[in-house]
Amino acid sequence: MPTPTDTDLAALAHDVATAATASRARIVTAESCTGGWIAKMLTDVAGSSAWFDCGMAAYSYEAKQALLGVNPHTLQQHGAVSRETVVEMVSGALVHSGATLAVAVTGIAGPGGGTADKPVGTVWIGWKQRGDYPQARLFHFAGERDAVRRQTVASALGGLLELLGTDR
């Protein structure tokens, strides 16, 4: 995936806004490796208070547990960058908000922190609609920290569009 520009991300966020408004969805974000960037892009859209509920940037294990209800055992067994953790993050975001649709991201943006099993660019993204099963996908993004984060934001927003029934 080429690194998305600010214009690309703004267009995706606008499309999410349009779809969320049409479907009367309320969105919550739970972000680790993007540090609130998804929430920023969404709330840059005028009128976002009509469909954006809240966003949580949870980097530490303690924050993931306190804000999102991630089980300490999950973090110990699988680590923060895992399918298990992102599923608990996206589910917890819905439990701890008034939203109807959630997106969660956890990954290794770099430049450090990568391992042989989870190199820099490894990102898990989860999506969930209230009352449905969570979806989670593993991505391996290329580039330096900013590029990995931009690709994560774009993929997270793209997944929201899919759940909202909008193709881009």
pLDDT tens per residue across span 4-59 = 999 999 999 999 999 999 999 999 999 999 999 999 999 999 999 999 999 999 99
Q: What is the pLDDT of residues 55-90, one digit of tens each?
A: 999 999 999 999 999 999 999 999 999 999 999 999
pLDDT tier at 116, thresholds 50, 70, 90: very high
Question: The whole model's pTM is what?
Answer: 0.97
Among the listed residues 123, 115, 118, the one whose alpha carbon sits nearest the alpha carbon of residue 148 = 123
What is the predicted pLDDT for the residue at 167?
62
What is the predicted pLDDT for the residue at 166?
80
What domains lie within the chain, and their CATH numbers?
A: 6-163 (3.90.950.20)
Alpha helices, DSSP H, located in 3-144: 6-23, 37-43, 61-68, 72-78, 83-95
DSSP for 38-52 reads: HHHHHHTSTTGGGTE
Residue type at 123? V
> Which residues have a Cβ under 8 Å from the Cβ of 61 and sit 6 or more positions away?
70, 72, 75, 80
What is the predicted pLDDT for the residue at 88?
98
Q: What is the pLDDT of residues 120-154, one digit of tens each?
A: 999 999 999 999 999 999 999 999 999 999 999 99
DSSP code for 33 = T
* Token duo for residue 81: 């960058």
Rounded to whole angstroms, the Cα distance separating 99 from 82 reads 23
Among the listed residues 140, 58, 61, the one whose alpha carbon sits nearest the alpha carbon of residue 97 = 58
What is the predicted pLDDT for the residue at 168?
55
